[in-house]
Amino acid sequence: MEMHVCKNYDELSENIADWIVEYVCNILSTKERFSIALTGGSTPKKLYEILASDAYKNKIDWSRANVFIGDERFVPFDDDNNNARMIQQTLLDKVAVDTAHVHFIQTENMSAETSANAYEEVLQHYFNKASGEATFDIILLGLGDNVHTLSLFPGQTEVINEKIKWCTSFWLEEQNMYRITLTAPFVNASKQIAFLVNGKAKAEALKEVLHGDYNPEKFPAQIIKPTTGELHFFVDEAAMGS
């Protein structure tokens, strides 16, 4: 595990932008395409704005990207709560990505279960995890103040402990909605896993992930442990409690 401690949110966003650029460029020197799974929420917005800026948008050859998403609220794309909508507006609309290689979770005209199954089929088309191959080159993750990540929420035992499915759906009573999420085993097969954590409101959650007794049913983000890849935390001083 590698900690990247930054002074504040702006520095955190710039540092992870530089890290992504460097890593992607290294990948593209050895293979034709790279795969990245993006995250929703408020924390990555600044990062996406930086990557889409004039100073950065040509540093990555987005035409060689396969873009995925880690989880989704089961609401229509035009709903402000839709993660893909935020990612599209802040980043993908502003870089030269091939829309045929942008793979979001479909949330309309089907059930949540069908949506999760359909996304798993998309993943199976691109990855052969059964053979031991890695999944994403990079996956970005957030951390909730209740220590959730992706749509792995405290108390959602079946989802947290899923071992077979790559993507699953469930009803989250506290939010009165279905959620679709990648599962821990699939995410843990990624080459690079990067948490983005900022603000003093996340300090206790981060402390539990880094130093708490292992109890992923209460602190789900603890279950994110790469099998062969690398784990990074990009955090600001407030989240570190300093």
Q: Which domain holds residue 54?
A: 2-236
Q: If we measure between CA atoms, which residue out of 169, 167, 165, 145 comes closest to residue 220?
A: 145
pLDDT at 161: 97
Q: What is the pLDDT of residues 131-149, one digit of tens each?
A: 667 899 999 999 999 999 9
**Is there a domain that residue 242 lies in?**
no
Q: What is the pLDDT of residues 197-220, one digit of tens each?
A: 999 999 999 999 999 999 999 999
- 3-state class (DSSP) for residue 204: helix
Q: What is the mean pLDDT of residues 41-48?
A: 96
Helix (H) or strand (E) holding 25: helix 9-28
pLDDT at 130: 61
pLDDT at 128: 78
pLDDT at 132: 66
What percentage of residues in the chain have a pLDDT greater than 70? Answer: 98
- Domains identified in the chain, total number: 1
CATH of the domain at 63: 3.40.50.1360
pLDDT at 226: 96
Q: What is the side-by-side strand order in the sheet with 167-172?
A: 71-73, 177-182, 167-172
pLDDT at 242: 67
pLDDT at 219: 98
Under DSSP, the state recorded for 89 is H
Q: What is the mean pLDDT of residues 39-65?
A: 97
**Is there a domain that residue 34 lies in?**
yes
Residue spans of beta strands (DSSP E) within the chain:
2-6, 34-38, 65-69, 71-73, 138-141, 167-172, 177-182, 192-197, 230-236
**Is there a domain that residue 20 lies in?**
yes
